[in-house]
Amino acid sequence: MKTLTLSEAANRTRSSDVRELLKDAQLPGMISLAGGLPDPALFDVEGLEAATREVFASEAQTALQYGQTDGQLALRQAVAGLMAERGAPVSPDQVLISSGSQQALDLVSRSILNPGDVVAVERPSYLAALQIFHLIGADTVSIPVDGDGAVVDALLSLPTDKPKPKMLYLVSNFANPSGATLSLARRKQLVQWAVDNQVFVLEDDPYGALRYRGTAVAPMIALAKDVPGALEWVGYLSSFSKIVAPGLRIGWAVLPAGLLDACVRIKQALDLHTSTFSQSVAAKYIASGRLPAHQQTVCEVYGKRADALAAALTDAFGDKLKFNRPDGGMFLWGRFEDGTNARQLLKIARDKGVIYVPGDVFYPDTPDASAIRFSFVTVDKAKLAEGAQRLLAAHKAL
Amino acid sequence: MKTLTLSEAANRTRSSDVRELLKDAQLPGMISLAGGLPDPALFDVEGLEAATREVFASEAQTALQYGQTDGQLALRQAVAGLMAERGAPVSPDQVLISSGSQQALDLVSRSILNPGDVVAVERPSYLAALQIFHLIGADTVSIPVDGDGAVVDALLSLPTDKPKPKMLYLVSNFANPSGATLSLARRKQLVQWAVDNQVFVLEDDPYGALRYRGTAVAPMIALAKDVPGALEWVGYLSSFSKIVAPGLRIGWAVLPAGLLDACVRIKQALDLHTSTFSQSVAAKYIASGRLPAHQQTVCEVYGKRADALAAALTDAFGDKLKFNRPDGGMFLWGRFEDGTNARQLLKIARDKGVIYVPGDVFYPDTPDASAIRFSFVTVDKAKLAEGAQRLLAAHKAL
């Protein structure tokens, strides 16, 4: 019996390794440093419930009806307000509401990339972005990351056997997985490069609001105002997933007008619009004024956990494991300096009761087998210390 | 100054004519028979608010956290229950939850179709389905519709200048725009044709539960059980948009295992998953047991409005306008027998204070310029009569 032949796109799409790994997080007694999920115990349930009550009291029929493809005006206004706080004042007209920033990345990518086009990405890179580029049939070239984020100079010596990139994608603050933040100098350099080379630079910023210490760096869409012609070549993505709640599935994009129009046309075909119910709840929540205090709570808790994990890993491994102490976000990115293979170590670590994500999965090419990603945000201090000790026991048994 | 070059997909995607037209619905005094939106005054706000309260009381953290790509188990179980009521008992494992059935159609289409592949559609056809096929770069062939739905026999004489279709798509009950329901005999014939020709048949059923009179016809995924090998070649889509509320953006697909897996992989890259918050509310609402009574209320109101519009149009136009009296759904589909061009008439009708959708927009090819689609579900009896009189005045002025 012949069976259905799937499309080429379906055949080249694989399920994420990380998602498979996360099933182990459910095992009894397992300490999971693998996840990328925010701590649900910190969700502002009270505030969101109050916002939802207000939606039902004041705009139930609108919140339950079909809506505009580009998003509800009240929410686009609320997002414009957040953008001003982030140093990038924009008009609500420049904002597109999406079903998580993941969808915004897909919409921008599909609006710009043809199959066979090239995207420049970081090395290591956000895994689900690579999935999107792969699904579209686009190719990637990569530039390395150091403590100041993506090494922009490396764009001057890209491989010559591939076409020039049409787009560049990076996570600008406390990146997943590298934890690095792109420095101001490199942001300026990248904006200039975008104009000079006519490559669209897409800044993804889901974690920037989770800064525990230090000073925020301006988004590139703000810096572009000082560079003639640059506003056409930069875009910005962010999300409520890490600062409010991922279950709402609300993200947004700030884009130049022509690109935004294209994204809206494509989104109309894909899902008509993002849940008006979720959008109304998010807009009422922002309007309630509770977000700043909530963000501060999350930052305090995550910051302490980041420090606890950093201390526990230093205790356990000393110089054998090198990492940067996170100033924000959800990830600690390290590298075994003794040649340990993080994927081989994981097999033993799992038996010892601790899991993490081997860093090799985040490389679009030439993976670093000694790299390792830890998430600390859902684990308390005692368990972080215990997790580090279990990892040490696994390392000794390797 | 050079500007960003958009992708071929973005350049070939146009905004829907209907969406543009709907802006006129906001004009003061306008009677809009153009929309495809359910009547928000009938939303079961009380029931949905109670469901939401229960979500916050019993599973707030889960409802606000990331979730599985294929959908929450509780909702997939609820959908399996609805499918049994529709004559097609399925396992929750066969159900994929999507962001509206629009997204499910995109996922299935992308899992099956390569650019250049052919989809067989009805003539007239659901407009947003054509947008999806166009976005993917697929081509269409069409078969006509009569009072018994798509004329399946026409599949035997498809144009020979295009490749054989890889997929067939139709709306099976009270179709948008034709209002027609595919007869049982034709469903059986189509299932057999799918197996014999190894073409995937996708049945879209957003309106079937809105039956005012008569007996429901079984979905093709139920009929396929009696045809050897057929279960691999049929799928089913539906949605809460017309029976609960579109703002939740919850649809679903029932698919063979291999195709469902492909859709899940692609959905993971596109938006990770559908709003867990919306899913939880929908699941609690179904569990509350209020849906059957709510559906009955909606059917009674819509049924009366359908009859009122039919009577008003007969009064106004007599034999000049031919149409089928709807037994369910949201649309009345007609055709001017006197050669009236529905698009030319619209310009005058708008000035007279009534709008509708000219039928030509729903044709993938060879449009019928005299066809016309009315929606009656948001307009009360008096306004329906007045709308028909305004249309008659426009017709006389043409």
Q: Which residues pair with A139 in a beta bridge?
A: A118
A135, B269 Cβ separation under 8 angstroms: yes
Using the beta-carbon criterion (under 8 Å), do A102 and B271 form an inter-chain contact?
yes
Model pLDDT for residues A313-322, shown as the tens digit of each residue: 999 999 999 9
Q: Which of residues 120-159 of A touch B (CB under 8 A)?
A: 128, 131-132, 134-135
Number of residues in chain B: 398
Q: Which chain A residues are closer than 8 Å to B233 by Cβ?
A: 4
Tell me how far apart the alpha carbons of residues A181 and A367 are, in angstroms, rounded to a whole number: 21
B63, B230 Cβ separation under 8 angstroms: no
pLDDT above 90 as % of chain A: 93
Whether A118 has its CB under 8 Å from any CB of chain B: the answer is no
DSSP letter for A213, please: S
Tell me how far apart the alpha carbons of residues B167 and A192 are, in angstroms, rounded to a whole number: 47
Model pLDDT for residues A92-128, shown as the tens digit of each residue: 999 999 999 999 999 999 999 999 999 999 999 999 9
Whether A234 shows a pLDDT value over 80: the answer reads yes
Whether B262 has its CB under 8 Å from any CB of chain A: the answer is yes
Q: Which chain A residues are closer than 8 Å to B245 by Cβ?
A: 64-65, 277
State which residue of chain B sits closest to A67, comparing Cα positions: B247
- Nearest to residue A136, comparing CAs of A163, A116, A155? A116
CA distance B112 to chain A (A): 5
Whether B20 has its CB under 8 Å from any CB of chain A: the answer is no
Q: Which chain A residues are closer than 8 Å to B45 by Cβ?
A: 56, 60-61, 64
Q: Which of residues 161-200 of A touch B (CB under 8 A)?
A: 166, 198, 200
Mean pLDDT score, A225-238 = 97
Using the beta-carbon criterion (under 8 Å), do A60 and B66 form an inter-chain contact?
no
Q: Which chain A residues are closer than 8 Å to B248 by Cβ?
A: 64, 275, 277
From A14, A111, A272, residue closest to B6, measured CB to CB: A111
Q: Which chain B residues are closer than 8 Å to A52 by Cβ?
A: 52, 56
DSSP state letters, B211-243:
B-SS-PPPPHHHHGGGSTTGGGGEEEEEESTTT
Whether A246 has its CB under 8 Å from any CB of chain B: the answer is yes
- Please tell me the predicted confidence (pLDDT) of residue B350: 95
- Nearest to residue B11, comparing CAs of A111, A235, A136? A111
Whether B35 has its CB under 8 Å from any CB of chain A: the answer is no
Using the beta-carbon criterion (under 8 Å), do A277 and B278 form an inter-chain contact?
yes
Cα-Cα end-to-end distance for chain A: 48
Using the beta-carbon criterion (under 8 Å), do B246 and A66 form an inter-chain contact?
yes
A238, A208 Cβ separation under 8 angstroms: yes
Q: Which chain B residues are closer than 8 Å to A259 by Cβ?
A: 4, 6
Mean pLDDT score, A343-361 = 96
Tell me how far apart the alpha carbons of residues A105 and A119 are, in angstroms, rounded to a whole number: 12
B187, B168 Cβ separation under 8 angstroms: no
Q: Which chain A residues are closer than 8 Å to B64 by Cβ?
A: 40, 43, 45, 48, 245-248
Work out the pLDDT band at A2, boundaries 50, 70, 90. confident
From B49, B102, B278, residue closest to A271, measured CB to CB: B102
pTM of this structure: 0.96
Beta-carbon contacts of B177 under 8 Å, excluding residues fewer than 6 positions away, are B124, B126, B331, B333, B357, B359, B362, B373
Mutate which: A1, A4, A240, A278, vs B, most B CBs within 10 A:
A4
Using the beta-carbon criterion (under 8 Å), do A247 and B110 form an inter-chain contact?
no
- Please tell me the predicted confidence (pLDDT) of residue A366: 87
Look up residue B294 and give its two tokens.
Answer: 């709510």
Using the beta-carbon criterion (under 8 Å), do B40 and A56 form an inter-chain contact?
no
CA distance B195 to chain A (A): 10
Which stretches of chain B drop beneath a pLDDT of 50?
none
Q: Which residue has the tokens 């009677």?
A: B31
Whether A274 has its CB under 8 Å from any CB of chain B: the answer is yes
Work out the pLDDT band at A300, boundaries 50, 70, 90. very high
Q: Phi and psi dihedrals of A189, rounded to 5?
A: -60, -40
Whether A62 shows a pLDDT value over 80: the answer reads yes
- Please tell me the predicted confidence (pLDDT) of residue B16: 73
Q: What domains appear along chain B, each with residue ranges and CATH number?
A: 8-44+293-397 (3.90.1150.10), 59-287 (3.40.640.10)
Work out the pLDDT band at A3, boundaries 50, 70, 90. confident
Query: Between chain A and chain B, how many beta carbons pairs sit less than 8 Å apart?
Result: 265
Model pLDDT for residues A17-54, shown as the tens digit of each residue: 777 787 888 899 999 999 889 999 999 999 999 999 99
Whether B271 has its CB under 8 Å from any CB of chain A: the answer is yes
- Please tell me the predicted confidence (pLDDT) of residue A35: 86
Mean pLDDT score of chain A, rounded to an integer? 96
Using the beta-carbon criterion (under 8 Å), do B275 and A99 form an inter-chain contact?
yes
Q: Phi and psi dihedrals of A52, rounded to 5?
A: -65, -40
Question: Which H or E element spans position A167?
Answer: strand A167-171
Whether A375 has its CB under 8 Å from any CB of chain B: the answer is no
- Please tell me the predicted confidence (pLDDT) of residue B18: 74
B10, A265 Cβ separation under 8 angstroms: yes
Mutate which: B277, B280, B330, B377, vs A, most A CBs within 10 A:
B277
Whether A238 shows a pLDDT value over 80: the answer reads yes
State which residue of chain B sits closest to A39, comparing Cα positions: B65
Whether A1 shows a pLDDT value over 70: the answer reads no
- Please tell me the predicted confidence (pLDDT) of residue B23: 81
Q: Which chain A residues are closer than 8 Å to B75 by Cβ?
A: none
Give the ipTM of the model, two decimals please. Answer: 0.95
DSSP letter for B156, please: G
Using the beta-carbon criterion (under 8 Å), do A258 and B4 form an inter-chain contact?
yes
Q: Which chain B residues are closer than 8 Å to A198 by Cβ?
A: 2, 4
Q: Which chain B residues are closer than 8 Å to A248 by Cβ?
A: 64, 275, 277
Look up residue B298 and give its two tokens.
Answer: 């909606």
Look up residue B7 and give its two tokens.
Answer: 């992708």
State which residue of chain B sits closest to A235, comparing Cα positions: B4
- Please tell me the predicted confidence (pLDDT) of residue B75: 98
Look up residue B288 and give its two tokens.
Answer: 């509350």
